[in-house]
Amino acid sequence: MPTSEGHPVALITGITGQDGSYLTEFLLQKGYHVHGIVRRASSFNTGRIDHLYQDPHVSGTRMQLHYGDLTDATRLGELIERIQPDELYNLAAQSHVKVSFDMPLYTADVVAVGALRLLEAVRDAQQRIGRKIKFYQASSSEMFGMVQETPQTETTPFYPRSPYSCAKLYAHWQTINYREAYDLFACCGILFNHESPRRGETFVTRKITRTATRIKLGLVDKLYLGNIDARRDWGYAGDYVEAMWLMLQQERPDDFVIATNETHSVREFLDEVFGHLDLNWQDHVAIDPAYYRPAEVDLLIGDYAKAERLLGWKPKITFRDLARMMTDADMKLAEQELKLRPK
Ligand code: NAP
Ligand code: GDD
């Protein structure tokens, strides 16, 4: 299954996630043939990409899904060998920081060793097929953790504060090591928080937009949150997937911070969302310490100057527009829920 009819071939792990869905849309528009690895689950987990699905019986199909898991090295090796992608995007992860404190070993297996399994499979496949497979690793601003300097750049020292970020740091350095040791075309995108209407519902921005819109329609009363003083650099996922692709189109592999260079507190996000709905969040939000983390990352703000200079990339969607876009999309879901509710 090598490069198909002149179309470049991409393989995406984590295709069913927020970023996987936007990246698939982006690559299909660019003319790619996109393969994605999907975990087997007892119910469908492809909701974010169903609108992109193409019937494999129809000729000319440019999107194909394959069962696989980052814990299964044999399957990863077999898929890479068979698909022979030009570009491989490793987006799969147990990506929830709070959950990583509850499941540290599983998180390390998927996030840290999972990336290493892929790097080994790529190194092996490249030798056999005699050409490069470009590799993108989804690194994270969480690796900066306990802040050493602001804004954070590619040279800021890391200080991870969770099992998730320790695992991401391992994957980050393995990717760099494989580039230096084996001449892999491997890039790390150090992406700061990025959100969208497709964001998982347990991340703070989506939890807020989902619950605030339900409060507005009288479907629930309260929104329970943890540390609302935390500050993040929040961008739009649709903007960020383009940066992933741009990294793999350069002459030389390199690592880049992708961010907005703005920081906002969870409180400010509450202001934007509840304000947009003509509500006062202080009337509806309660603090539940169950959502506190054993160790917290207090402040993230990223400097994307290197990406702007070398990739020509910069963010397009502002903090306010992002909050409104997510609120408006969740208002539609809340309205549907209200209609379907038994009277
Ligand atoms: P997400 O929505 O949580 O998606 C994660 C994806 O990984 C899903 O497709 C999930 O499958 C898949 N996955 C989880 N465990 C797996 C396993 N064992 N084997 C194979 N696939 C597995 O995450 P995202 O927001 O799109 O983020 C994409 C990547 O960027 C992640 O690596 C994340 O850690 C990293 N990142 C995200 C941000 C951000 O702000 N969004 C910032 C920096 C870095 P299911 O759909 O079946 O769960
Ligand atoms: N999830 C969540 N739920 N977070 C809360 C809540 C709550 O009820 N209340 C307050 N917060 C605070 C968290 O303590 C954290 O400081 C902040 O809101 C953001 O939390 P998340 O939205 O869960 O994101 P994150 O910053 O921990 O991690 C996300 O961004 C990373 C990049 O910096 C994830 O997408 C990671 O996968 C990603 O690497």
Q: 213 CB contacts (<8 Å, ≥6 apart)?
A: 277, 327, 330, 331, 333, 334
Whether the ω angle into residue 151 lies within 30 degrees of 0, i.e. cis, is: yes
Residue 297 Cα: closest atom of ligand 2: 16
pLDDT digit string, tens, across residues 117-166: 999 999 999 999 999 999 999 999 999 999 899 999 999 999 999 999 99
Q: Quick check: is 310 in a domain?
A: no
The model's pTM is: 0.98
| CATH, residue 273 | 3.90.25.10
Exposed/middle/buried for residue 208 (C-beta within 10 Å: 0-12, 13-18, 19+) = buried
pLDDT digit string, tens, across residues 168-189: 999 999 999 999 999 999 999 9
**What's the pLDDT at 4?**
67
| CATH, residue 21 | 3.40.50.720
Pocket test for ligand 2, best of 101, 152, 204 (most atoms within 8 A of CB): 204
Q: Quick check: is 82 in a domain?
A: yes
Ligand number with the minimum distance to the CA of 211 = 2
Pocket test for ligand 2, best of 164, 188, 203, 206 (most atoms within 8 A of CB): 203
Q: 326 CB contacts (<8 Å, ≥6 apart)?
A: 195, 196, 197, 199, 205, 206, 209, 273
- Do residues 279 and 215 touch, judged by C-beta distance below 8 A? yes
Q: Quick check: is 308 in a domain?
A: no
Q: Which residues are catalytic?
A: 140, 142, 164
Exposed/middle/buried for residue 265 (C-beta within 10 Å: 0-12, 13-18, 19+) = middle
Task: Please give the Cα distance from 269 to 155 (Å, whole number).
Answer: 29
Nearest of 315, 185, 317 to residue 255 by alpha carbon: 185
**Closest Cα to atom 36 of ligand 2:** 95
Task: Please give the Cα distance from 177 to 184 (Å, whole number).
Answer: 9
Residue 137: in which H helix or E strand, if any? strand 134-140
pLDDT digit string, tens, across residues 38-52: 999 999 999 999 999
248 and 125 belong to one structural domain: yes
Residue 3 has pLDDT above 50, yes or no: no
176 and 118 belong to one structural domain: yes
Q: Quick check: is 50 in a domain?
A: yes
Q: Quick check: is 122 in a domain?
A: yes
147 and 283 belong to one structural domain: no
Average per-residue pLDDT for the chain: 97
**What's the pLDDT at 135?**
98
Distance 115 CA to ligand 1 centre (A): 12
Cα–Cα separations (whole angstroms), residue 246 to 23, 56, 188: 12, 29, 12
101 and 120 belong to one structural domain: yes
Residue 86 has pLDDT above 50, yes or no: yes
**What's the pLDDT at 204?**
99
Residue 51's domain comprises: 9-196+234-258
Confidence of residue 1 (pLDDT cuts 50, 70, 90): very low
Kindly give the residue spans of alpha helices, DSSP state H, lying in 130-236. Answer: 163-182, 204-216
